[in-house]
Chain A
Amino acid sequence: MRIRRRDFLKGVVSGTALTVLGRPELAAAAHRGRRDTPGALGILYDATLCIGCQSCVVACKKANDMPPEHSGSEGIWDNPRNLSASTMNIIKKYQHGDGRQKDDSNGYSFVKRQCMHCLEPSCVSACPVSALTKDEETGLVRYNKDNCIGCRYCQVACPFNIPKFEWDSPTPEIVKCQLCSHLLEKGGISACCSFCPTGASLFGPVSELLREANRRLHMEPGESYEFPVADISGRTPSQVQVHKAGTYVSHIYGEHEVGGTQVLYMAGVPFEKLGFPELPDESYAMISDGIQYAIYKGMIYPVAVLGGLLYMVSKRSGGDKGEK
């Protein structure tokens, strides 16, 4: 009996050690996406092509039936200052130094902010009730309010601070870009891309967007090249414009960050200046997922520990009665 108890204690100790140290490499997360599947869709945003016209902001609001936001004193125009529960897509401006040269660290740059549609989304991993899911075909991160309990763990978990919450509603929902999934279902493309006049927001299969981004990185700055506009998925008629290639920082943001994203960024200004955090290649969600999965996979450890506890406690409480 003594020996059995000691063995059990050893089991508890090693089980606990595993519990608390974690073994992320054991994880095999089901919702991990792949960008090389042909169905994976996304956006390539090229800040050097963006003229800051806000067409995408207007088109997004119209396509998704979002209310205007007044930040000015007159309250006339829809001029959101940040992403919010009424704004899922926004163009912001970075300005520094004399602010005259476009796409220069000492000048200015536009930048689009919206959901990145991560390959290994933290929000999807965090959500206890599968209200946020990664679409099996398109890889887009979608929201289902009928599942959502409003816990806001997705907001805590998102490395880009994208999901927003309706703080002033008694029946609040989480709001974030779903890449116009309702338009995609009808064979269309996301509103922001179809209304972008310069091709700064380009819709397409992620693998092709990545190829296009790499092509641009190899362009000679100042030389003229053909740039596809709106869509390279073939869903809508292809258009091309000729632009002079910008001077890019040699980094495609979203190619590797937190495991990669389906919305990719190119710019002439370093990304941290445009408000993008420097992130590791491994998704934080995968780390906590891994620990969680290692402990609870098949509930083997918890059940084993419970078995040991049942044995010990039944002996103890029996002993108690004996003492009386």
Chain B
Amino acid sequence: MNEAKPIGGKIWTMPFLFLTAIVILAVFFLAERFLFGLGSVTNMNDSYPWGIWIAYDVVIGTAFACGGYSMALLVYVFNKGEYHPLVRPALLASLFGYTLAGVSVIFDIGRYWQAYNIMIPSKMNFHSVLLEVALCIGTYVLVLWVEFAPAVLEKVRAERQLAKLNKVIFVFIALGVLLPSMHQSSLGTMMLAAGHKLSPLWWSKSLPMLFLISAMTIGYAVVVFESTVAALAFKRPLETGMLSKLSGLIPWLLGGYLLVRLQDINGAGLLPLAFSGGLQGNMFLLENLLLLGALLLLIYPINRSSPRMLFIAALLIMAGGGLYRLNVYLIGYDPGTGFHYFPSAPELLVTFALIAVEIMGYTWFVKRFPVLPAVKHA
């Protein structure tokens, strides 16, 4: 188990300073938001009550944070222990993705000081999809920290606590597979309530299933992405062997996803709408072409053994899967009031700042804590 080692190195590098500057700017705009209301910094309005703080920070952000979920599913449920070295870095990325999604919700909700109401049983509405999503994501953030805790305990050599934690950690690993399955599908269910306001190119009773499959697929893509970027950024050997084996799974998931998608659209006679040339139709085509591109790349074993092709496929999946979610929550959503939405600069900046914190947190942890597998020097 203890093959992971901190990689060491300087924390305050130039990129790190640059990211810090973004975060400081965002704090300024957030202060404005809390003093004068959401309307003072965002372009959200009564027609588009949800902007990118929900669509990106929560809906796409948690999908990009599904690496930990996908790896846990593979290693513990499908018993593929050989992928174990990929679990801890994936967990770390998930940890930041989910924690910051939770934080961003506090920026977004209007009456944040009453947020604890979701935990008061007498106030809970068990019919609400959002209640389930909120409780599940909240619990999962805690679970992720516990799942990741061994890395911290190893670092501080708290061996007794580590031994204790290792006895019960299976409970948290199991929860770590269950909870994302629940809330990732529910993120899809959530937009069923939008009904006629969501274009039929996306509104479908398959939303929960498509969100679940896409979350898993994006999870594996993110593991490939993150492992490759970490190798390049920290000048470590590429983990191509493991990644190419891992990505043999992806065509199955993508193929299944695209079949359901095509069947939904074709069955409802919506292909003409998809090719009608409007923004929604084009975004629908782009979203599916990106995923189809990844599928076509990854069905060939030769591409799966090329780090470059693997990386491109991972990017295509993240772009296509991310766009699918953006389409469901924003581009495909039109309440028909004539109003439109495009995020304001401060709104975008806050989202960038959250991504910046994720990158900074990840870098700090891998440099100081045993996360990445130790490199064996020949």
Known interface pairs A20-B185, A152-B49, A305-B178; A320-B1 also in contact (CB < 8 Å):
yes
Given known pairs A29-B127, A126-B130, A288-B189, the reply for A172 and B111 (CB within 8 Å) is yes
B155 is an interface residue with CB less than 8 A from chain A: no
Q: Is A61 an interface residue (CB 8 A)?
A: no
Which of the candidate stretches A37-45, A155-163, A183-191, A196-204 sits at the interface with the other chain? A155-163
Bound complex: CA A66 to CA B87 (Å): 56
A80: chain B residues within 8 A (beta carbon): none
Q: Which of B46, B125, B130, B197 contacts A164 (CB 8 A)?
A: B46
A313-B74 Cα distance, complex, nearest whole Å? 11
Contact among B126, B174, B190 for A306, CB-based, below 8 A = B174
Q: Is the CB of B335 within 8 A of A161?
A: yes
- Contact call A150/B110, Cβ cutoff below 8 A: yes
Pick the contact of B44 from A85, A167, A173, A314 — CB < 8 Å? A167
CA distance A170 to B36 in the complex (A): 5
Residue A153 is within 8 A (CB to CB) of chain B in the complex: yes
- Mark contacts of A284-324 with chain B using CB atoms, 8 A cut-off: 1 yes-contact digit, 0 otherwise: 11011101110010000010011001101110110111011
Query: How many interface residues does B have (CB within 8 Å)?
Result: 72
Q: Which of A1-40 contact B (CB under 8 A)?
A: 16, 19-22, 29-31
Contact A279 B127 (CB under 8 A): no
Closest to B2 in A: A324
A149–B178 CB distance below 8 A: no
Let me know if A296 and B132 touch, CB within 8 A.
yes
Q: How far is the CB of A92 from chain B (nearest CB, A)?
A: 12
Which residues of chain B come closer than 8 Å to A156, judged between CB atoms? 49-50, 191, 193-194, 197, 333
The yes or no answer to B76 lying at the interface (CB within 8 A) is yes
Contact pick for B49, options A155, A317, A320, CB 8 Å: A155
- For chain A, the bracket of interface size reads 35 or more
| Chain A contacts for B208, CB-based, 8 A | 19-20, 22, 291
A149-B115, A152-B110, A169-B37 in contact; A127/B125 too (CB < 8 A)? yes
CB of A67 closer than 8 Å to a CB of B: no
Task: Say what secondary structure dominates the interface of chain B.
Answer: helix
Distance between B38 CB and nearest chain A CB, rounded to angstroms? 6
Q: Which of A251-268 contact B (CB under 8 A)?
A: 258
> Are the CB atoms of A167 and B212 closer together than 8 Å?
no
Structural contact, B38 and A129, CB atoms closer than 8 A: no
* Chain B window 135-176, contacts with chain A (Cβ cutoff 8 Å), 1 for yes, 0 for no: 000000000000000000000000000000010011101110
Asked if A122 is at the interface of the complex by the 8 Å CB criterion, the answer is yes
Chain B min CB distance to A287 (Å)? 5
Judge whether A284 and B127 touch: CB under 8 Å: no
The 8 Å CB contact of A170, one of B35, B174, B185, is: B35
Is the CB of B360 closer than 8 A to any CB of chain A?
no
Report chain B residues within 8 Å CB of A159: 195-197
Q: Give the residues in chain B near A320, CB-CB below 8 Å.
A: 1, 81, 84
CB distance from A245 to the nearest CB of B (A): 32
Q: What 0/1 pattern do residues 114 to 131 of B give for CB contact below 8 A with A?
A: 110110100111111111
- By a CB distance below 8 angstroms, the chain B residues around A129 are 114, 117-118, 120, 123-125, 131
29 A-B interface contacts by CB (under 8 A): A19-B181, A19-B185, A84-B46, A124-B127, A126-B130, A128-B130, A129-B123, A129-B124, A130-B124, A130-B125, A146-B114, A149-B114, A157-B194, A161-B46, A166-B37, A168-B40, A170-B34, A172-B110, A172-B111, A258-B195, A291-B208, A296-B132, A305-B178, A309-B174, A313-B76, A317-B166, A317-B170, A320-B84, A323-B81
Residue ranges of A at the interface with B (Cβ–Cβ < 8 Å): 16, 19-22, 29-31, 82-85, 122, 124-130, 145-153, 155-157, 159, 161, 164-173, 258, 277-279, 284-285, 287-289, 291-293, 296, 302, 305-306, 309-310, 312-314, 316-317, 319-321, 323-324
Given contacts A21-B209, A309-B178, list 4 more A-B pairs with CB under 8 A: A84-B46, A151-B109, A152-B49, A306-B178
